[in-house]
Amino acid sequence: MPKILMIDDDTELTQLVAEYLALDGFEFEAVHDGEQGLARATHSNCDLILLDVMLPKLDGLSVLKALRQGPYCPVLMLTARGDDIDRILGLELGADDYLAKPFNPRELVARIKAILRRIELLQQEQHDLSPLLELNEVRLNAQNRQVSCAGHPISLTATEFQLLEQLMRRAGEVVSKDDLSRAVLGRRLQQYDRSLDMHISNIRKKLAQHSQSEKIQTLRGSGYLFLTEGS
C-alpha cells in the first residue's frame, strides 16, 4: 500500500485528498507547516510527497531544496494557478511534477499514480535493457541510477533520469515531446505545459557544469535529439 505524505496548511483540502486517496487504497498522512513537514518527510518511509509552495514556518521550495540533499523521494508540487515562477523554481529544484490549485482531486490521484507507475517501470526496465549507456561523455547506469559526465557524478531527479535515459537509448534520433511526455510524465503533452522543457533545461545545466560540448539538441516543432560523438 503506497504511503503519501501531504504537506499543506489547508486542512479542508488535506481531508478531501485523504478521502479520495483512501478510495484507491493509499495510506495517507498530512502535516500543516514546512518545518514539521520536512521532519516527517525525512524520518517517515513515504512513497511520494505532495508539497504546497505557500507554507507557514518554512516555505515549500525551501523544504524541497532540503529534501533533495537526502535520499530520493518523488515530490509533486502544489502551486497557485498561473504562478509560473513557483512552478519553474520547483522543477529546477527537483520536483517531479506540479499541479496548480484549485485542482480536481481525481486529476491529483491520476498524477500520483503516473509518478509511482513510471518509477516502477523504470525499475522493471533495468532488468530488461542494457543497464549501461555511454555516449558523448555521458555515462548512465540504469541499474543503480547513477549518471556521470566527463567522469564527474551528476545528481538527477527520477524524472530527469528517465528523460535522459529515453534520449540516450534513442541517441541520434529525434524524440518528440509528446512521446517523452507520455513515456516519462505519463500524460499527453498539453499546449501550455512547460514542465518537460524545464526538466530538459535542468539536465542540460547539470551536464554543462562538466562539459562544454552540446549533448541535447532542441529541434523546434519536432522534439529533442541526444547527440552522439561526432554529431
Same domain, 165 and 80: no
Same domain, 111 and 143: no
Secondary structure (DSSP) of 170-184: TTTSEE-HHHHIIII
In a domain, 125, yes or no: no
What is the extent of the structural domain holding 136? 130-226
Question: Helix 84-93 crosses helix 60-67 at what angle (to 10 degrees)?
Answer: 10
Residue 163 sits in a domain of what CATH number?
A: 1.10.10.10
Residue 34 sits in a domain of what CATH number?
A: 3.40.50.2300
* Total domains present in the chain: 2
Say which DSSP state 211 is in: -
- Which pLDDT score is estimated for 81? 64
- Which pLDDT score is estimated for 87? 75
In a domain, 124, yes or no: no
Same domain, 52 and 110: yes
Judged by DSSP in three states, 78 sits in strand
- Residue 5 has phi, psi (to 5 degrees) of -105, 125
Same domain, 159 and 213: yes
Question: Helix 60-67 crosses helix 34-43 at what angle (to 10 degrees)?
Answer: 20
- Which pLDDT score is estimated for 194? 80
Q: Considering the entire predicted model, what is its pTM?
A: 0.68
Asked whether 92 and 103 are in contact (CB, 8 A), the reply is: no
80, β-bridge pairs: 101
- Which pLDDT score is estimated for 217? 93
pLDDT tens string, the chain, 231 residues long: the values are 899 999 999 999 999 999 999 999 999 999 999 999 999 999 888 999 999 999 999 999 999 999 988 888 999 999 886 667 777 778 888 888 889 999 999 999 999 998 998 878 766 665 566 678 999 999 999 888 899 999 999 999 888 998 999 999 999 999 999 888 888 887 777 777 788 888 999 999 999 999 989 999 998 888 999 998 745
Same domain, 207 and 158: yes
In a domain, 187, yes or no: yes
